[in-house]
């Protein structure tokens, strides 16, 4: 089912349903195509909501490979994004339907003492761990960069937060043993290129991160098997680090004693050195750039879209989400007067240091007219959102304080 911007506007204006499908237009979906004005004009004009198998209608940015953004209203006000609303991100178009009965995970490499092959039952027999964590595409909000940069022009919704359950990666690596010379763990999944010249999507992580107690090979998401488009039957979970390392449909894990030289490490997903307060991937760092690693502190209003109509003379409750790389959110502040003054928002339930932290803030009664509202977060390490964009060639780490207009009438 595909819903166009024009169709949404027509149906919403008439208070009707889409005649072609009989699908009633919920407000959340109508708002979903009220995309930020900063996005490229072409994307805003051609935006559609499209439902992949097993998914609610999401904002389709490309079909081959599938890149689908979660509408803000569906991110989960309680801090958990439902499986059927979770964003979809692929680099390659050959995405096989993996049969859980025949799936195998090969573990070894020249940096390991031995090799092993596990099936899904083997993985599930290992001690299970559950962690709630944000999976955010490195390029989330890339479409809001000015000037625009190349890449998928994401708005705010290339992210989600789920409860992930699986075996610790370190327990799997212990089955083969790591040599003291091992420096990186190379991760590959079942998805691949349709053209031979296209580099396969293969990532590596430092050994210390692979051995972290929070790094998982997950087979469940929010209490259910992983959806196909989110990595079934098993994927890597790297809490605190951007989604590029969360390899889906994982099929091989290899320890290496030299820095991995694949395209998606040496060329793609790199940021200038010393521009961001994030961990360096030291074995992959040059004098000029380094692989993107941790997320930066951020926040987002989820209850209202830019230009939303509110009742004049009434207070407005804003709801939203804040997150960081795992230090934990210390506070969120909000302003309803264009940043002239800031007041603390109320933090919601703490789902864990890697999770979304819900927040709420009630404005004073708003007189008729336009009102500029903003939110900003700070983590327990003292890191804050920025007020000016930190430019970088690939459009990563957009964490400028969000501002939107409310129209009181």
pLDDT of 31:
72
pTM of this structure: 0.93
**pLDDT at position 30, please?**
63
Q: Residue 172 in contact with residue 107, Cβ under 8 Å?
A: yes
* CA 236 and chain centroid, separation: 14
DSSP string, 172-240: HHHTT-B-TT--EEEEEES-B-SSTTSPP-EEEEEHHHHTSTT-EEEEEETTEEPPGGGTTT-EEE-TT
Q: What angle do CA 36, 138, 320 make, to 5 degrees?
A: 50
Question: Residue 156: which of 173, 170, 175, 143 has the closest Cα?
Answer: 143
CATH 2.60.40.650 boundaries in the chain: 298-408
Map residue 120 onto helix, strand or coil.
Answer: helix
Residue 343: Cβ within 10 Å count: 12
- Apex 355 CA angle, 72 and 213, nearest 5: 145
pLDDT, position 8? 45
Question: What is the pLDDT, as a whole number, of residue 148?
Answer: 94
Render each residue's pLDDT in the chain as its tens digit; 409 residues: 665 554 444 333 333 333 333 344 466 666 777 888 899 988 888 889 999 999 999 999 999 999 999 999 999 989 999 999 999 999 999 999 999 999 999 999 999 999 999 999 999 999 999 999 999 999 999 999 999 999 999 999 999 999 999 999 999 999 999 999 999 999 999 999 988 889 999 999 999 999 999 999 999 999 999 999 999 999 999 999 999 999 999 999 999 999 999 999 999 999 999 999 999 999 999 999 999 999 999 999 999 999 999 999 999 999 999 999 999 999 999 999 999 999 999 999 999 999 999 999 999 999 999 999 999 999 999 999 999 999 999 999 999 999 999 999 9
Pairing of the two strands 357-362 and 317-323: antiparallel
Give the domain 298-408 fold. Immunoglobulin-like (2.60.40)
Q: Is the peptide bond before 297 cis (omega within 30 degrees of 0)?
A: no
Taking only Cα atoms into account, the Rg of the chain, rounded to an integer number of angstroms, comes to: 22
- At 44 the pLDDT is 86
Q: β-pairing, 369-379 with 402-408?
A: antiparallel
Task: Report the CATH superfamily, name and number, of domain 105-291.
Answer: Oxidoreductase, molybdopterin-binding domain (3.90.420.10)
- CATH 3.90.420.10 in the chain is located at 105-291
């Amino acid at each position: 089912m595909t819903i166009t911007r024009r169709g949404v506007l027509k149906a919403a204006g008439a208070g009707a349903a889409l005649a072609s499908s009989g699908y009633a237009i919920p407000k959340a979906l109508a708002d979903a195509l009220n995309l930020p004005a900063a996005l490229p004009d072409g994307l805003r004009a051609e935006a559609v909501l499209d439902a992949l198998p097993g998914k609610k209608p999401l904002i389709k940015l490309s079909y081959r490979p599938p890149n689908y953004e979660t509408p803000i209203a569906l991110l989960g006000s309680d801090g958990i994004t439902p499986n059927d609303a979770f964003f979809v991100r692929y680099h390659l178009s050959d995405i096989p339907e993996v049969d859980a009965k025949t799936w195998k995970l090969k573990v070894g490499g020249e940096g390991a003492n031995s090799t092993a092959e596990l099936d899904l039952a083997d993985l599930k027999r290992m001690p299970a761990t559950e962690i709630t964590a944000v999976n955010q595409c490195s390029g989330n909000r890339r479409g809001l960069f000015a000037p625009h940069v190349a890449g998928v022009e994401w708005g705010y919704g290339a992210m989600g937060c789920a409860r992930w359950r699986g075996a610790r990666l370190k327990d799997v690596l212990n089955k083969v043993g790591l040599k003291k010379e091992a420096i990186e763990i190379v991760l590959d999944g079942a998805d691949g290129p349709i053209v031979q010249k296209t580099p396969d999507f293969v990532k590596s992580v430092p050994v210390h991160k692979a051995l972290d107690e929070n790094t998982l090979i997950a087979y469940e998401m929010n209490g259910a098997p992983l959806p196909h488009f989110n990595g079934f039957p098993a994927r890597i979970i790297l809490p605190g680090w951007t989604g590029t390392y969360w390899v889906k449909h994982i099929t091989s894990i290899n320890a290496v004693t030299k820095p991995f030289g694949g395209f998606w490490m040496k060329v793609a997903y790199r940021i200038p050195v010393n521009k961001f307060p994030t961990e360096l991937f030291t074995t992959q760092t040059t004098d000029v750039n380094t692989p993107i690693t941790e997320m930066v502190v951020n926040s987002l209003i989820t209850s209202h879209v830019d230009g939303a109509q509110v009742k004049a003379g009434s207070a407005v409750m804003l709801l939203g989400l804040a997150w960081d790389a795992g230090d934990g959110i210390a506070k969120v502040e909000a302003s309803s007067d264009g940043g002239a003054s800031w007041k603390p928002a109320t933090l919601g339930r703490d789902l864990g240091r890697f999770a979304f932290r819900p927040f709420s803030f009630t404005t004073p009664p708003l007189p008729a007219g336009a009102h500029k509202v903003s939110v900003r977060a700070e983590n327990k390490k003292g890191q804050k959102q920025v007020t000016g964009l930190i430019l970088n060639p690939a459009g990563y780490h957009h964490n400028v304080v969000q501002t939107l207009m409310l129209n009181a009438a």
